[in-house]
Amino acid sequence: MGLLAWLGLRRRNQWESLTLLDHLLASPLTFLTTQLYHLMLLLRGAPFHPPRGRPPIRVVCISDTHDAVVDVPPGDVLIHAGDLTNDGSAAHVQRQLDWLKGLPHSLKVVVAGNHDSYFDPRSRSEDDVRSGAKLDLDGLVYLEGELTVQDIKGRSVAIFGAPDIPECGPKSFAFQYSPARQPWLSKVPPQTDILVTHGPPKHHRDLGVGCPHLLREVWRVKPRLHVFGHTHCAYGKESVYFDDMQVAYERLLSRPRRGLVWDLVPNQAWVDMLQVLLHGVHSVLWKWLMGGPGSNQGSLMVNAAQMYKNTGRAKSRAIVVDI
């Protein structure tokens, strides 16, 4: 394993993307189904379009800047989904906040990440506690399990933000929870248009470390846009449709991996794969041949990590979404 990781054939830890060899050894059937699922998403096109006759709202999404300053394109709303810093001290957090304040976007929304320890009294450094350090958040909308409703271009937009993540590190990491103390049960208001969390939901841009409880909340609320970060190597965006294809896909990913040989033996994962294929083909045909709604009834999940993989170097790669 060590040699294969050194050669780049296997990933070194759970925070890196699976290599092709990792996929094949764990479950070639799951890997094939994942490719089919994303092909179907591509063929279905954009999950939504801005409402006709109304000006689009441009949302610029970033996360995981880790003390870096990156180029940020213009827009109406700027969202930073946490991990502004590395050490989480008040001084470093304030520097990042001051940078965000200087950007031209009329609305700037921020949630904390696990590295932003100042925001969580349980993880705040002794130096910050001793000095009584305070932050200046003027000009920013900081959300910690809260909803804000904003009037933007004559449209009302409800944004809910929360920093909570499953346990993943030392006590100095902020807003961690154990499976027994997960905070997501009916936490997100049903009117939420944009959901901002630091961590990803399970099975979507998460490297397998996302939260299943958060995924259930996303299914319940179905926000138009869900912005997060945390897993740098899973950067990108992904459409979701909350339909039978997605149910089968997520069910397959929830199953234990059977390995290269046992995947060849008929099992329930085969049924999941066939359902992903059948429901996916049906949705594509319904959209393109039968004139079905298809392209305007989904949501978009965005992992906006600016940190490039686990290199310690940030890249200017904000994701821009018109809603």
CB 108, CB 128: distance < 8 Å = no
pLDDT at residue 294 tops 50: no
The CATH number given to 2-322 is 3.60.21.10
pLDDT attached to residue 295: 47
Cα(220)–Cα(130) distance, integer angstroms: 42
Question: What would the mean pLDDT of 117-143 be, rounded to a whole number?
Answer: 97
pLDDT attached to residue 6: 83
What is the overall mean pLDDT for the chain? Answer: 94
Q: pTM, whole model, 2 decimals? A: 0.94
Question: What would the mean pLDDT of 91-108 be, rounded to a whole number?
Answer: 98
Q: What is the largest CA-CA distance in the chain?
A: 66
Confidence label for 277 from pLDDT (cuts 50, 70 and 90): very high
Of all residues in the chain, what percent carry a pLDDT higher than 90? 88
pLDDT tens for each residue of 179-229: 999 999 999 999 999 999 999 999 999 999 999 999 999 999 999 999 999
Among 75, 69, 28, 39, residue whose Cα is nearest residue 55 = 75
pLDDT tens for each residue of 28-68: 999 999 999 999 999 999 999 999 999 999 999 999 999 99
Confidence label for 267 from pLDDT (cuts 50, 70 and 90): very high
28-44 and 244-254 helices, crossing angle to 10° = 160
Confidence label for 291 from pLDDT (cuts 50, 70 and 90): low
- Taking the domains of the chain in order of start, what are their residue ranges? 2-322
Q: Which residues contact 25 (CB under 8 A, 6 or more apart)?
A: 259, 260
pLDDT at residue 293 tops 80: no
> Coil, strand, or helix at residue 246?
helix
Confidence label for 1 from pLDDT (cuts 50, 70 and 90): low
Confidence label for 286 from pLDDT (cuts 50, 70 and 90): confident
pLDDT at residue 11 tops 80: yes
Instruction: Please give the structure tokens belonging to residue 25.
Output: 């050894």
